[in-house]
Amino acid sequence: MPARSPAPAESAPDRGRLGGETVDVLIPEERVRARVDELGRQITRDYAGRPVVLVGVLKGALVFLADLMRALDLPLTLDFVGLSSYVGTGSTGEVTVTSDLTRPIEGLDVLLVEDIVDTGLTMRWLLDHLAQRRPASLAICALLVKPSRARAEVPVRYRGFEIGDDFVVGYGLDVDGRLRNLPYVGVVRR
C-alpha cells in the first residue's frame, strides 16, 4: 500500500483527538522526542551494559516508556505496576496496587518509569513498597516533575522536564482518562 499523502495544511490534525477540548501546547512533540533521546543516552551510559528491569507505572507512563525503551542501548526486560491513589481534592498518599509485577525483582537493577511526579506521594509509597523486595538498585525516571507541589522526598534521578503547577495532559497523561494520545504535553484551557 502506498503511503497516504499528508493532510492539507489547513486541517487541524488534533481535532479528532481533542474531542472538543482546547489544549495549549506546553512542550512540543519535537522537544519531548529530543529530551527522551537524551535521557536514553544518559541512562545507557550510567548502566553501562548491565541488565535493567524497566517498570512502567500504568497507565500514564505507557507512551513515555515506549519511546524511552527504544532509546536505551541496554539488555532490558519490562514489567508494569498498576496503582490507584485515593483521590478527592488531590493525592492523599494512600496507595493500593491494582496490578502487581509479574516477576521478582530481588537482586536486579530496577528503573521505575513514571509520567509525572506531582506531590511525590505516589512514588514515595511505591519506592518503599518495592524496596522490601530487595532489588540491587531502585531508581526513578520521570518525564515531568512539578517541584512546587512536592510533599514527599522523592529522588528522581532522571527527569525530563520541570514544570509549574498546571495540570497537564498528553503524551500518556490524562484528564478523566482522556487526551492520553496527544503527541505533545499540553494544558487544557478552561
Catalytic residue (choose from 24, 118, 128, 165): 118
Give the range of 53-61, 73-81, 87-95, 174-182 binding Mg ion by CB under 5 A: 53-61
How many other CB atoms sit within 10 Å of the CB of residue 74? 18
> Minimum distance from CB of 188 to ligand IMP (Å)?
9
Nearer to Mg ion among residue 40 and residue 60 (C-beta):
60
Name the grid cell of 5. 499523502
Q: Which of 32, 43, 81, 122 binds ligand IMP (CB under 6 A)?
A: 122
**Residue 74: CB partners within 8 Å, gap ≥ 6?**
43, 44, 47, 49, 50, 51, 52
Nearer to ligand IMP among residue 74 and residue 138 (C-beta):
138
* 174 has catalytic annotation: no
- Please state the three-class secondary structure of 141-152 as a single string: EEEEECHHHCCC
> Minimum distance from CB of 64 to ligand IMP (Å)?
11
91 contacts ligand IMP (rule: CB under 6 A): yes
- Please state the three-class secondary structure of 19-54 as a single string: CCCCEEEEECHHHHHHHHHHHHHHHHHHHCCCCEEE
Quote the distance between the C-alpha of residue 51 and its chain's center.
21
Give the range of 6-14, 27-35, 99-107, 116-124 binding ligand IMP by CB under 6 A: 116-124
Catalytic machinery residues: 118
